[in-house]
Amino acid sequence: MTSASLFEVNDLENTNRLEVSADLGNLWELNGTIHEYAYLTHNFFRYYGKFPSALAKRVINEFIETNGPANIIDNYSGSGTTLVEAVIAGHNAIGVDINPLGVLAANVKTTFLPAQALEDACRKILLVAKDFLESGEAEIAIDHLPMEELEKWFSLQATLELCALRHAIYGFESGTIKDFYLLAFASIIRRVSRAYDGEVRPHINKGKAPRSPLEVFEKKSLDMCQRMKEFGVAVKGEATAACYLGDNRALIKSSEFASESFDLALTHPPYVNCFDYLPVYRLELLWLDGLFNQWSVQSRNLLGSDYLDYKQLRKLETRSWPANPQVIESYRIGNLQMLEGLWQLLRPGAMCCVVIGDSTIKGELLPVHRWFIEMGEMAGFRHKQTIYRTTHYGTGKYAYKNRADYHGKAEKRDAILVFNKPKSG
């Protein structure tokens, strides 16, 4: 079914002629702030472009039709928002993403760890890091770092402290405790750099006050430990989650991805003309060099490679930017393949919910959510309904009045597309 002939390159020229529905009667008001939605483990790592936790919670509550624990899949899982909400609700969940930092975050956020073990590890990391600094070993170690690039983004003191923290964390045996602190380490990189904290792509903030990585790491780690305690209380039953590093267009058919084994799919493809995800985390990946050898991801690596090569991952990443005709065609073909894969994994009668929004190029509207309705039906699903949601990304909220026309007059829509896999035929 899938071929390049499905989507012609010149199709982009006609997108502005497609009618966009103005019916917002089926609207979900998600008007909480980012802070309000960052409860429990959701705030462990700042992952750009994710949907609000309230959306995942509502989809799970409304579109699972099984009695007892269900099996949920998110094959654009990002940092694991769907997975966290699934286990809180007592369901089992599987995630897939091509971004190793997202996969690390998703697994850490959904794996309960005892408070005492985490607190003991935190104290050890800080002691080893401080000893490494005081001994002068950090000054020797930075000679092996790409200092020309680091000097642009970090002060010398920040570089030394980050080097010491990485040394201390890398000294742990691979496992869930180490993963927890690898994520804590990754989460402070942007904060202690010269880059703006909240920008998607890193840019120098000349007025930014310096911060001590050791102090920021300690504060972040203690907060994560407390939230992990609360998460353990919140999870219902024996629910589990696991996230895999993989290409969502070509999932390995294993016991975890058996045909017709899932009761709900919730997926959030990248928005057209938005940004590619891996380059956003250039500073974090710079400091987590050799991540594959440190992180206990080996058993959840579906790529068939024993080394995480950045260039290899970039080739596999679903590209949505720059939105030229070739990128858009590849984007649509890749997401059709993704939907075809989900169709095979879902049991008959199960729901598939796609969270996607429209985009603009030079003021011209691209009705992307209508493209996905078409692609969902091509994959074999039946489109049941479209739910629009309030969204605004520039104010620290996930809401703005009653629609997502956040670039001028173009009538953009952020939508949850609800599909059903027919029970027969």
Residue 226 shares a structural domain with residue 186: yes
Of 232, 250, 266, which closes a domain?
Answer: 232
Residues 222 and 243 in one domain: no
Domain that holds residue 331: 4-97+239-280+317-420
pTM > 0.85: yes
pLDDT tens sequence across 67-98: 889 999 999 999 999 999 999 999 999 999 99
pLDDT at 275: 79
Same domain, 269 and 376: yes
Same-domain pairing of 219 and 247: no
Q: Output phi, psi for 177, to 5 deg.
A: -65, -45
Indicate the helix (H) or strand (E) that contains 97.
strand 92-97
Cα first-last separation, the chain: 17
- How far is the C-alpha of 174 from the C-alpha of 130, rounded, in Å? 22
Q: State how far the Cα of 190 lies from the Cα of 362, in Å rounded to an integer.
A: 31
Q: Answer whether residue 22 shows pLDDT above 60.
A: no
Domain boundary among 198, 214, 232: 232
Q: Is residue 108 within a helix (H) or strand (E), and if so which, with residue range?
A: helix 100-109
Determine contact, residues 266/59, Cβ cutoff 8 Å.
Answer: yes
The count of domains in the chain is 2
- Look at residue 140 and tell me if it is in a domain: yes
pLDDT at 144 exceeding the cut of 60: yes
Per-residue model confidence as pLDDT tens digits over 210-223 = 999 999 999 999 99
Residue 32 has pLDDT above 60, yes or no: yes
Which one, of 254, 269, 239, lies nearest residue 77 by Cα?
269
pLDDT band at 391 (very low <50, low <70, confident <90, very high): low
Residue 405 has pLDDT above 60, yes or no: no
Q: What amino acid occupies position 353?
A: C
Distant-in-sequence contacts of 407-411, Cβ < 8 A, 24+ apart: 407/360, 407/363, 408/360, 408/363, 410/358, 410/360, 410/363, 410/364, 410/365, 411/20, 411/22, 411/365
Distance CA 339, CA 333 (A): 10
Which CATH number do you get for residue 55?
3.40.50.150
Task: Answer positive or negative: Cα dihedral of 10, 16, 19, 20.
Answer: positive
Residue 294 placed within a domain = no
In a domain, 289, yes or no: no
Examine residue 312 and state whether it is found in any structural domain, yes or no.
no
With tokens 């309230």, the residue in question is 54
Is residue 217 located within the same domain as residue 252?
Answer: no
Indicate whether 214 and 262 sit together in one domain.
no
pLDDT in tens, 284-343: 988 998 787 788 877 788 887 766 777 888 888 888 888 888 999 999 999 999 999 999
